[in-house]
Structure 1
Amino acid sequence: MAADSVAFSRRMRTDSAGESERSGGFVVPGGHGGSGDTWRRHIVSQLKNRDRNQSDSFQDLIRFYSRLLDKSSLTNGILSCSVRRPCSDSSPVSSLLNQNDHLKKTTGELAFQVLELQQQIKIKLRVLDEQDSSLLAERRRLAGAFDVRQDLQERVVQVQEENGALKMEYDSLLERQRGAETRLREEKVREGNLVEDMIHLKRQAAACMNNRNERRSRAREANLQKELQSAARSKVAIDSSFSAPTSRSTSPKNEIQDESTERRHTRLFRSASATSPRILTSFRELFNRKRRGHSVCSLEEDLKSPVGICLSARVPARALHVLEAHEQGINTVRFSSSSDLLATGGTDRVIKLWEVRAGSLTHRATLDGSTEGITCVEFDSAGSRILAASYDKSALLWRLDESVPKLTLTGHSRKVTAARFSTLLHQVVTGSADRTIRLWDLHRAACVQVVEVASYCSDLVCSENCIISGHYDCKIRVWDSRAVSCVQELPAQGKVTSLDLSSDHRQLLSCCRDDCLQLVDLRRWSNDRTCFRAEGFKCGSDSTKAVISPDGCFLAAGSADGTVYIWNVATGNLETRLPDKHSSSISAVSWSLSGEYFVSVDKSRRAVLWSDI
């Protein structure tokens, strides 16, 4: 702009000088030469001042404007007009005025454009400020991301180091495990070899024992044969004076003589006849002796006389008494050892005692104290105490002459499904749904042993030095109560709902959810099993109780349709069915030890007393 202004002033001075020359040094008419120079200088000075002010304020704008002016046709027109200006038609003053007007007009347009450009510049500046602030925020975010990235990289390095350490530890543990597995396999192989060797040695010992027993039996039999032959060859004189006295009023001296004479005659006849009682007993002991294998029952139990007084159990045929025994369903029933007292327990949380008289049940007492339903009841051998298991995770002990429990045994975490008196009078065994079997000392009212089981315990029975439990995993387990260890597992046909032992503790009855009763011979190594089924029989619940008759000849269980089924053990067939007295599923049955009465109870509060008369 400054260069353009200088060029413009030079043109102005040149034009004025030319005009002076052409005019011959005369001043423009109507004006003075000094005044003409003054206003020209004044205009030039104003232009210079404006040019200076504008150039100082708008250097960039002036530069762009100068470029625009160079390219503008207006500038070309102005230059062309100034070059071709006629000397005669116009005066310098008018030319300058026209130029001044044109410049003013052009300057106004340019000023407007300058304002627009200033507005655009302001807008761009604001946008630039916003972009700068955004860029600053992004830089800050980037710096934070770099910090996080650095932390993550450090964390990755740390995790890699930890993973390396864990990998090394895992490798060492894997090596140890492989070594342990190798040793375990070796120990199993060694165990198998030891078991085989032990079985072989046992068989050899058993064979030696059998040979020794056979030799002894043969020697004993030969001696008996010799005695029989010598007795048969000998002559015996019988005197009638040694006959038995006809009257019981005999003097003591005569009694002694008669007794000695009787002993002498007995000895003579024992030698003379093979049908004498002593010889028959000897033969019976000789030929009935059996070799024993490994069985659940001990030798003492086999030699022990059967418990109970029943010679022949009666098969029930007629209902003698039907009554609503409880306010809610009945879960369990049991006769006492004397057979004249009956206990029932139900979901109404009480135990009721009934006297059995002349074919009817008479209420005697009610035992309460449980906070939930009763699952199992049992009398002790003396018939003076009663034990019960409850849904309230406890077992309770009553005396028959007291209505409140004497002891409450707590410790199970779930319902107690079975409670039995042990062979020791001061011990009790309980089984629970918490998969444990507990042995309790009644003197201390404390648990002395806990056995962890792999499955829900539904019922248990006790024998000499062993506990037999039934479980939901279709297994019957035999436990040694002295060593607290499982010595045998017997398979069942389904989930076991109840167990019952015969009076001589030689046979075990189990009731299963597959509608089958299974009788196991505990004396044999193979534990021979016999299954009993019947058309229409269905096990009604997970706690259905089945029993063996006191003489061991019959089995009884209640069905889901309210019918009692009784099987004959000898034939394996169904002996009888007792329908029409129960309207719902039968939960439990019980046989009196005298064999005279039979009781069944159901889920609808009904108890039925049966007999064969």
Structure 2
Amino acid sequence: MMAADDITSSRRMRTDSAGESERSCGFVQPGGHGGSGDTWRRHIVRQLKNRDRNQSDSFQDLIHFYSRLLDKSSWTNGILSRRPFTESSSVSSLLNQNDQLKKTTGELAFQVLELQQQIKIKLLVLDEQDSSLLAERRRLAGAFDVRQELQGRAVQVQEENGALKMEYDVLLERQKGAETRLREEKVREEQMLEDMIHLKQKAASRMNSRNERRSRAREANLQKELQSAARSKVAIDSSSSAPTSRSTSPKKEDQDKSAEPRHTRLFRSASATSPRILTSIRELFDRKRRGHSVCSLEEDQMSPVGICLSARVPARALQVLEAHEQGINTVRFSSSSDLLATGGTDRVIKLWEVRAGSLTHRATLEGSTEGITCVDFDSAGCRILAASYDKSALLWRLDDSVPKLTLTGHSRKVTAARFSPLLHQVVTGSADRTIRLWDLHRAACVQVVDVASYCSDLVCSENFIISGHYDHKIRVWDTRAVSCVQEIPAQGRVTSLDLSSDHRQLLSCCRDDCLQLVDLRRWSHERSSFRAEGFKCGSDSTKAVISPDGCFLAAGSADGSVYIWNLSTGGLETRLPDKHSSSISAVSWSPSGEYVVSVDKSRRAVLWSDI
């Protein structure tokens, strides 16, 4: 109760001091009446109350504890005043209570100090939070500025995108128009090409009919001449060759002539069976037949081909040379064995003369726009055929470096091209899954055979075509019926085919690192397999060959070695290493049986022999 009175008195003192300050400042008008002075007084009193309230709130806990302490103290004093002091136990208990009160008062004072220290710490933390809040507000204002700038840039980019979209739409419309015009031009081009071909065919037919009429007229004239010559009579005077006597009188001579019978006989100025007439008729028909042909009379003649009785197994390299500027894909000997052709990815065919165990460059055949995949000589050895990556096959004469004929029609690369045993025909196989038969007289495709798989290689015999494919099958085609008569299964993807010189055995090389020899004389097609340790088929176009005597097989491996098998024993005859630095792509055995040539992907060609 004393504490409450003290607080009330302190408040009164503050109010009185405030009133005195007001009066001293002259805010109160004389007479003590209300007005502006009362207003200022109330305002100052309100401010003082607010200050008192704010200050008392900070020490409210202390006041509360102090009031409790005062209450306990007054309660203790009242107890002591009501009880007598004669009892020693009561006095001791009271003393203990006083000690406890003192302890409690000290603890409360310590708690007050701790609370004040915590208040200071919290005030510091609050200041730090205020400063960080101010920094965050500044950052937020900067972020707002950046956001506004980005929004402006986004609007600008959207406008630019809109302009680009409009330009794109315009270009798209132009492209569509250009594509439409291109299609129209292509249609016109195809139509013009068809019209031109039609006109060419008409002109060719007119020319052929004109030439036919001329040849018939010449034949009729020749027949008439022959008939008139056969009917004509020639008088022969038998005495014209005898010596006459100058003493004989003309009169007597006339009488003698008139008296002697006149000797006459039929004389044929030219016989229809005479060699001269036969030669002229043959030349006439040859000129007629070759009027529109790409072949010459010399090319039509078959040259004799030597027969190899025993092939030599090569034992050493006679010559190693860099034959091309890029990798070599194919190699082939001519039928006379004195000429070699190589073709590679550098788009040329090189001809080499084989003399005395060495290769000498003879000529370079150009004209292909892409790499060469296969080469083949005709039976006469005066023409060469090549397959190319440019979807065509090309024909050269050996005395001309410019192609004499280009066969186009395949839609993908041509992988094989061979001369047919029939004159003036060639066969091509392609990655477009077709096999085509071409007539060189007309320079046109006469047969197209659709195949179910990629054609990797083919060989030709009379009336038959044998092709190897990626679907692990070898197909036999009858050109007369234009149909597949038999399918021979293989153990892997077929990379090459080769026929023996007697056309009785077929060699196939597959990607399963195995060579198979098929006997074509038997309907069951008995097969023999040839493998060797270390032999590996290096690519999808690796070429293997049969020796000209049919006793050996030769193939190049991915390790750069040439492997040769013996057909009689079925085992490996020999292995020729260390001359190639990369995978061997093709091997060719000369028809004479004397030489073997191997080529690889690193431009190298090696001539092998047993000499």
Aligned to 2:403: 405
State the Cα deviation string for residues 451-494 of structure 1 (Å, max 9, x = none). 00000000000001100000000000000011110000001010
Matches within 5 A, 1:246-261: none
State the Cα deviation string for residues 40-93 of structure 1 (Å, max 9, x = none). xxxxxxxxxxxxxxxxxxxxxxxxxxxxxxxxxxxxxxxxxxxxxxxxxxxxxx
State how far apart, in whole Å, the 2-side matches of 1:437 and 1:452 are: 7
Counterpart check, 1:502 vs 2:520: no
State how far apart, in whole Å, the 2-side matches of 1:355 and 1:332 are: 17
Counterpart check, 1:461 vs 2:459: yes
- Helix, strand or coil: the match of 2:501? coil
State how far apart, in whole Å, the 2-side matches of 1:358 and 1:337 are: 17
1:308 touches 1:503 (CA, 8 Å); kept in 2? no
Matches within 5 A, 1:274-353: 308-353=306-351
Aligned to 2:489: 491
- Helix, strand or coil: the match of 1:582? coil
Aligned to 2:572: 574
Aligned mate of 2:590, from 576, 589, 592? 592
1:349 touches 1:370 (CA, 8 Å); kept in 2? yes
State how far apart, in whole Å, the 2-side matches of 1:574 and 1:565 are: 7
Aligned mate of 1:531, from 529, 532, 535? 529
State the Cα deviation string for residues 295-352 of structure 1 (Å, max 9, x = none). xxxxxxxxxxx96410000000010000000000000000000000000000000000
Counterpart check, 1:541 vs 2:539: yes
* 1:307/1:492 CA distance change after superposition, 3 Å: farther
State how far apart, in whole Å, the 2-side matches of 1:581 and 1:423 are: 36
Aligned to 1:382: 380
State how far apart, in whole Å, the 2-side matches of 1:495 and 1:446 are: 31
1:354 touches 1:361 (CA, 8 Å); kept in 2? yes
State how far apart, in whole Å, the 2-side matches of 1:308 and 1:575 are: 25
- Helix, strand or coil: the match of 1:345? strand
Aligned to 2:548: 550
State how far apart, in whole Å, the 2-side matches of 1:529 and 1:307 are: 29
Count of residues paired in the alignment? 308
State the Cα deviation string for residues 498-552 of structure 1 (Å, max 9, x = none). 0000000000000000000000000001100000000000000000000000000
- Helix, strand or coil: the match of 1:544? coil
Aligned to 1:395: 393
1:352 touches 1:366 (CA, 8 Å); kept in 2? yes
State how far apart, in whole Å, the 1-side matches of 2:359 and 2:446 are: 39
State how far apart, in whole Å, the 2-side matches of 1:488 and 1:420 are: 21
Matches within 5 A, 1:176-187: none
What amino acid is aligned across from residue 417 of structure 1 in structure 2? T
Q: Give 1:368 shift.
A: 0.4
RMSD over aligned CA atoms reads: 0.9
State how far apart, in whole Å, the 2-side matches of 1:410 and 1:465 are: 23
Aligned to 1:356: 354
State how far apart, in whole Å, the 1-side matches of 2:490 and 2:534 are: 21
Counterpart check, 1:518 vs 2:520: no
State the Cα deviation string for residues 350-379 of structure 1 (Å, max 9, x = none). 000000011100000000000000000000
Q: Which runs of 4+ in 1 moved over 2 A?
A: none
Q: Give 1:605 shift.
A: 0.1
TM-score normalised to structure 2 length: 0.50
State the Cα deviation string for residues 74-114 of structure 1 (Å, max 9, x = none). xxxxxxxxxxxxxxxxxxxxxxxxxxxxxxxxxxxxxxxxx
Counterpart check, 1:609 vs 2:607: yes
What amino acid is aligned across from residue 366 of structure 1 in structure 2? T
Aligned to 2:559: 561
Aligned to 1:421: 419
What amino acid is aligned across from residue 407 of structure 1 in structure 2? L
State how far apart, in whole Å, the 2-side matches of 1:307 and 1:511 are: 26
What amino acid is aligned across from residue 568 of structure 1 in structure 2? N
State how far apart, in whole Å, the 2-side matches of 1:327 and 1:479 are: 38
2:352 touches 2:359 (CA, 8 Å); kept in 1? yes
1:308 touches 1:550 (CA, 8 Å); kept in 2? no
State how far apart, in whole Å, the 2-side matches of 1:463 and 1:307 are: 16
What amino acid is aligned across from residue 462 of structure 2 in structure 1? E
- Helix, strand or coil: the match of 1:557? strand
1:507 touches 1:521 (CA, 8 Å); kept in 2? yes
State how far apart, in whole Å, the 1-side matches of 2:417 and 2:593 are: 24
Q: Give 1:424 shift.
A: 1.0
Aligned to 1:373: 371
TM-score normalised to structure 1 length: 0.50
* 1:334/1:356 CA distance change after superposition, 3 Å: same
What amino acid is aligned across from residue 354 of structure 1 in structure 2? W
State how far apart, in whole Å, the 1-side matches of 2:530 and 2:457 are: 19
State how far apart, in whole Å, the 2-side matches of 1:387 and 1:483 are: 26
2:595 touches 2:608 (CA, 8 Å); kept in 1? yes
